[in-house]
Structure 1
Amino acid sequence: MASSSILLSEEQFLCSICLDVFTEPVTTSCGHNFCMVCITKYWDSKDLYQCPLCKEKFYRQPVFRVNTTFREVVENYRKMRDRSKHESPATPGKVPCDVCTGTKRKALKSCLVCQTSYCETHLEPHQIAPPLKRHKLIDPVENLEDRMCKKHDRLLELFCRTDQTCVCQFCTEGDHKTHDTVPIEEECGERKAQLGKTEAELQEIIQERLKKVKDIKLSVDLSKRYAEREIAESVQVFTALVRSVEKSQVELLKVIEEKQKAVERKAEGLIKDLEQEITELKRRSTDLKQLSQTEDHLQLLQSFLSLVCTPQPTKDWSEISVHSDLCVGTVRRAVSQMEEALSKEMEKLPEVKLQRIQQYAVDVTLDPDTAHPKLILSEDGKQVRRGNTPQNLPPNSKRFDGHRFVLGKNGFSSGRFYYEVTVKGKTRWNLGVARESTDRKGKIKMRTEDGLWTVSWIYENVYKAGTSPPVLLSLREKPQNVGLFVDYEEGLVSFYDVEARSHIYSFTGCTFTEKLFPFFGPSDNDDGQNSAPLIISPVNHTH
């Protein structure tokens, strides 16, 4: 804070003799002020005329005239002091008046020249006194000394752009003489414009972050709905499995019971036959025993031929058995049928199916000989994007020249194959397979009858399958990574959303007689909106 000599404090309005506010103030030739009555009485009591403050001597009594301007200031101060008694004190967080003694009142303005903050009462001299009215007033602030140059004790009124610091007028005549300096107000104007621009950028970033929060919440909501759908599908599949197992169990038990009953019926028949044979044999044994004990020689000889020499009809029971392993075979067949049913039901779960078909992953590389001149391929042959100008390429019968398409290098004429393509960042794309004889010149219609099995993202949420007529697809979310599976013998071409582990579309019942090649179309740039490349990505089997 500046020294009290430059402050318009209450002490400056007090007469040093009566110690009260000046009444009819007069000024001595040495520059000190006193009440006219007070200085007159003071000199009347002395033999020597001298100033009570600085002790300067006068050889005769000066003739005083009332300082009318200062009197007006004093009178205004007296009024302000009386009014200030009714003003409220400064509350925490408000800048206090530097002039108030005792209870500090709230400052209304701060003077950059006086380096003092004034309440409404003490500010009045700055509003009526001509010298004070030229002072620069600002809204009340604390630490006014920070606005003064530490080196020259002058107000910091300029800004040095060279050193990026505030300076006073004297600084521009010394260390900052050759520097680029401007008034603080001018620099503040530019800084405010910069702040406005920065604030606008921050608002843009905030909006981006809010959008990202919204996107994340939407993703969570989609994930939740997807999880609910997966749970429902899983419950449905496993319920069907449980029913299939229960049905198989009932059927198996029924078969086993029926076979057991058949065995029991067979055993009963065999036992009945055996018992009849045993009864007959026992009867014959009795006859033989009786015959051996007879004394009638003629009867013995006559009966001997019929009982001993004539053989009795009996079965060969050595190979006859009721033991069977038919039940074991039935169980094995039932288990085999259940395994097959389980496999079929599990195939209905897209995530399980996708995981199984990923084992047929192949390494796909783009064929530059087939690429349209406006397509740009990466050196490793794994990425393709649309260029702005056609490249000067040699003529090639294999090259597409009407649409921006490219094929994979290797074709497939049997078996199964699978690969994945990253489409993140794009707004349109075409993916699928093409037969070797597909026309590559001029305008091409992506239809199955023309040898193309494709799925395309047209715009926004519109996707279509290249059938005739095309089939519009409804997808829950935009795929970021598309998986493509082909079963040549089965005549199947399927598309999957790898991240969502969901099925997009399948061409079924196709008849393939030629090699099939992976097909890629990055589509137009759309003024840079669709400049991201299609990327053949490695298959992650641990999804």
Structure 2
Amino acid sequence: MDAVELARKLKEEATCSICLDYFTDPVMTSCGHNFCRQCIQMSWEKAKGKKGRRRKGSFSCPECREASPHRNLRPNRLLTKVAEMARQHPGLQRRDLCPLHQEPLKLFCEEDQSPICVVCREAREHRLHRALPLDEAAQEYKLKLEKDMEHLREEMFKTGKLQAKEEQALDEWQNKVRRRRERIVLEFEKVGLCLLEEERRLLQALKEEEEETASRLRESRALLAQQSHSLERLLLQLEDLSQREPLQMLQDIKDPLGRSSFSTQYPEVVPPAALRTVCRVPGQIGVLKSFQEDVVLDPTSAYPYLLLYESRQRRYLSSPPEGAEFCNEDRFVAYPCVVGQKTFSSGRHYWEVGMNLTGDALWALGVCRDNVSRKDRVPKCPENGFWVVQLSKGTKYLCTTMAAPTPVTLTEPPSHMGIFLDFEAGEVSFYSVNDGSHLHTYSQAAFPGPLQPFFCLGAPKSGQMVISTVTVWVKG
């Protein structure tokens, strides 16, 4: 008897005929057959309900049908050990036996890719399939597995190299970011030092100008005070002389008349607007450009004879209207004005306006409420919903309101203006992009509502404004 047959016989002896599994707590009946204790008890419990002739307290054996007393079940300790040995024997594991026929799995069906026994080989479902001995099939598949493993090792090697490269790239990137972070901090420290130095320079220049102008004003004040004192003394002498008797007055008239003919001096008064120092913060325009908006003009709001030419599309956005369009309620009809399409009710916004203006140009720039009067001529001031700066007839004084002008001295009319709106802060600031100087800032607690960019040209031949890609001028 070979080892396989011996193992099969051992398995049969260690298997319960009821559950077809290895014995668990085996017991022997009076007729000499062995079963799992739980299996035989369940079998007899089921038999209780069946009709038939049997002696009271006894049940038939599932193997030989001989009556056996219910309580006459003796433990079989030897069979318990045999079942445990069979359960642990590697050659008797359930996976090594056919689940249908309980025969050793000796063949491999290539069609179904599964091991089969010799009984399965003759069965209808496998009869026409190619079957190989288990060892031959294992050898073939072992070669395939080795090829697959070799491929996987190559892929693992490639993956490892790529992983190493990625780790190196990550380290290099983090080092680059660290160096860039250090450079940013260092550069901002330098910028801070430069700004501090520029601040000191500007404050020193302002101080020197203040002292120089104050000195001139004090000299003028002293000269005028001395002159006023001399005039007062002479006036008193003349008043005294005029009250004398005719003879006495005429005897003393020569000397007072000579002194009353002296020339007075009136020094030139230095106006506060003549202050030359203008605030220029280095790099400020660059910072403001980070909030830059591409302002798009609203042609429906434009004054009837304010022409808007879009250079990219090479077309007019507006032209002198006719009929009912002239009275469109959205149009400005009191001044040559236009507003942007977008309204702002939060955030920070910056835009620039190029100006190619004549010497007598009239213009205004800034923001306005979205519901300002477009039919009436009203002063362009915050009380009427306008926060603008204006230049009148090419003067060098920039007025912030019409009703109460606060002039800002300009060395020359700017050709490039920047407007910065900080809605939450309640501020509108104006800058000369030419030299980066700050011109004026409106500051208040809060704006009363949404705002729009506002543009105004005073009259024909005032010149042109350029907003984004649109050129604006007044038709003559």
Shorter-normalised TM-score: what interval? 0.3 to 0.5
Relative contact order higher in (CA < 8 Å, ≥ 6 apart): 2
Q: TM-score, normalised by structure 2?
A: 0.37
Q: TM-score, normalised by structure 1?
A: 0.33
